[in-house]
Structure 1
Amino acid sequence: MHFNDYMRETFPNFTLRPPLFYRWKVGIRFELGVNYTIEDAYENSRYLQGVYRRAITLFKALHEKNDDLYIIVDADRYSRRQMLGCKLKVFSRYVKEKSVLYRLNHKTIPYIFPEDDEEGTYKTHRFILKCKTSDFKYISLLKAICNQNMGIRPSIFHRVYFININRKTILHVYDDRGCDIIAASPETIREVYNKYNDWLLDYDRAQIDRVFKNGYENPD
């Protein structure tokens, strides 16, 4: 199934852009970084180790080795040369077998944040790779995403979404602060909600609890 068809069927009337949690009725917002201070901005600090641990744990909870995934990378306002650099950096470094890159698709779409582009001059470059969980170095990739605001390399500043085709979930680690998980059905992620309940972002806890404790209305 084509990516666009999959999204229309699985997440109808949904636009893939952050914050995922506020754009879909079935979701969880997790806190990754806890008790940050300026002294924590160094490689493998205690703070970052905690961030990595939570991000990797949540990824593993959602993805089995042989699950089919779409890895989506959105890059904004970039020239063709910068766009190529994005492709090489984000995918080549983290895909285990280079042959997998032959499946990589790219398309230019309207800027994903139109409210910030009144003149309509920006574009979003969307890279789509269909693969298996086992095809890429997800631990290294997650760490690079978490590093983006810490002044630590390697780091990835583009938006990266992990879409599990089999389980119908989307994971977006936005930076060291936290991540969003959305699903077509609450039952798909109920175990994650229960097991890692202490990691829920308290600010959104009441909204999250309503989905899993007080019933659920189909997003349609």
Structure 2
Amino acid sequence: MKILDYMEIKFPTLELVPSLYHQWDVGIHLSLGEDIYQLKENDELNLERFRLVYEQTLTIFNELFEPSDDLFLVTNVYKHKTEEKSTRKLKVYQPSLKDKRYLTQIQVKTYPYPFDIEEAEQYEMQQFSLLCRRGDLRVNQLLKAASNEDFPLNPRFGGYSIDYPDIFFVNITKDIIFFVYDDRGCEVVALDAEQIRPLYEKYYNWVDEVDRKKIEQGLSESGS
């Protein structure tokens, strides 16, 4: 199975790009870090915040993914069409796969640049995908690297210079998609509201008040 085939069947109007929550009715946006600022008063990184974010993202992942669940690990890499012909080491699949034989099964497809910027036609998005199981991945390392996007912390993803890569965990057993956009928050969307309702109820305090009405409406309409 290819990620494109799966998405066309299960999430036909959804693009695997940031802001999943705004594209799909059944979803949750969770804020991370509990308002602990990223920097201390002396401008040093506040590692307490990042330790909390790592713990929160892993907690959410564990709520959504069972060891036996099949999933796609999808990576979006953004690049200039002509100026960047070769990439720096991606540092997503190689360090995160327990069995390196999976590296030969990674698929890639090129798409138009998905963000609304000037001269967007000069850029493109390469989307890598791998069908595997949760147990095949070093999940904690992936979640940390996603959270570290804006700060000089390791682990980090590599790639082209114009944008940090985005990764999506697409659970094809439960039809759930999980995306950590950076240390500030993450998004979860689902085909069936009942798959993510327990997450919303259990971690209600991680949801900003401004988002609750939309989330509850989506969960209610899907479950009715």
TM-score of the aligned structures, taking structure 1 as reference length: 0.89
Which residue in 1 is equivalent to 2:137? 136
SS of aligned partner of 1:64: coil
After superposition, the Cα gap between the structure-2 partners of 1:217 and 1:195, relative to the gap in structure 1 and judged at 3 Å, is closer
Q: Could you tell me which residue of structure 2 aligns to residue 71 of structure 1?
A: 73
Aligned to 1:205, what secondary structure does the other structure show? helix
Q: What is the deviation of 1:158?
A: 0.7
More helix per residue: 1 or 2?
Answer: 1
**Is the CA contact 2:113–2:120 (under 8 Å) kept in the aligned structure 1?**
no
- The answer for the alignment partner of 2:160 in structure 1 is none
Residue identity over aligned pairs, in percent, reads 33
Q: CA deviation at 1:217?
A: 8.4
1:48 to 50, 58, 62: 50
Given that residues 41 and 150 in structure 1 are in contact (C-alpha distance below 8 angstroms), is that contact kept between their aligned partners in structure 2? Answer: no
User: CA RMSD of the aligned region, Å?
Assistant: 1.9
For 2:133 and 2:193, the matched residues in 1 are separated by 23
Alpha carbons of structure 1 residues 190 and 57: separation in structure 2 relative to 1, 3 Å: same
Partner of 1:27: 27
- Residue 34 of structure 2 aligns to a residue whose secondary structure is coil
Kindly indicate whether the alpha-carbon contact (under 8 Å) linking 2:193 and 2:223 is maintained by their aligned counterparts in 1: no
Structure 1 residue 41, shift from structure 2 partner: 5.1
Could you tell me how far apart the structure 2 residues matched to 1:117 and 1:72 are?
A: 26
Is the 8 Å Cα contact of residues 27 and 182 (structure 1) preserved in structure 2?
yes
Q: Distance in 1 between matches of 2:95 and 2:9?
A: 32
Greater shift in the superposed pair: 197-206 or 132-141: 197-206
For structure 1, list consecutive stretches of 5 or more residues without a partner in the other structure.
none
Q: 2:93 aligns with which of 82, 91, 94?
A: 91
Decide which of 211, 216, 221 is 1:209's aligned counterpart.
216
Which stretch shows the higher mean deviation, 32-41 or 56-65? Answer: 32-41
- Provide, for residues 24-82 of structure 1, a one-character-per-residue CA deviation record: whole Å limited to 9, x for no partner: 00000001122233218537x21111111110000011101111110110011152321
Cα distance in 2, alignment partners of residues 147 and 20 from structure 1: 20
Runs of 4+ in 1 over 4 A off after TM superposition: none
Opposite residue 101 of structure 1, the aligned amino acid is: L
In structure 2, the residue matched to 1:177 is: 184
